[in-house]
Amino acid sequence: IQLTQSPSSLPASVGDRVTITCRAGQGISSALAWFQQKPGKAPKLLIYDASTLESGVPSRFSGSGSGTDFILTISSVQPEDFAIYYCQQFKSYPITFGQGTRLEIK
C-alpha cells in the first residue's frame, strides 16, 4: 500500500503549529503509525493506531484520520522537534512507509 506524505519539506519556527499529511493509496482504517527520526538515530515511535500517543511522547504531538487521509500535528514546535517524520501503515503486508517530511528551521 503506497503512502504519500506532504509536504516533503516544512519550514517552521519555534512555537508554530504544524501539520503533516499522509495519504494512503487505499483504505487502511486506523492502521497507521508516525515516527520521528533525527540524524544518525533510529526512528522513534510517536503515534500508533492513527491517534494513540506512545508512552513518553509529549502531548504537543497528536494524530488524526482514518481510511486514506491522516494528519500528524505538532501544536507548538520545540527546538528538539526539527527532524524527519515518517508515516507507516500496517493494514496489510508488506509494511510500508511514506517518503518522509523534513521539518526544518525557517
Residues 43-82 that bind other proteins (CB under 8 A): 43-45, 48-49, 54
41 scored as a contact of other proteins (CB under 8 A): yes
Identify which range of 11-19, 21-29, 64-72, 96-104 contacts other proteins by CB under 8 A: 96-104
CB 37 within 8 A of CB 101: no
Which residue number, 3 or 74, has a Cβ lying nearer to other proteins? 3
Residue from 59, 80, 93, 106 touching other proteins (CB under 8 A): that is 93
Determine the Cα–Cα distance for residues 19 and 41; give it in Å rounded to an integer.
23
CB of 76 to other proteins, least distance (A): 26
The residues, any chain, with a CB within 8 Å of residue 5's CB and separated by 6 or more, are 20, 21, 22, 23, 85, 86, 87, 98, 99, 100, 101
- Give the binding site for other proteins (CB under 8 A): 31, 33, 35, 41-45, 48-49, 54, 86, 88, 90, 93-100
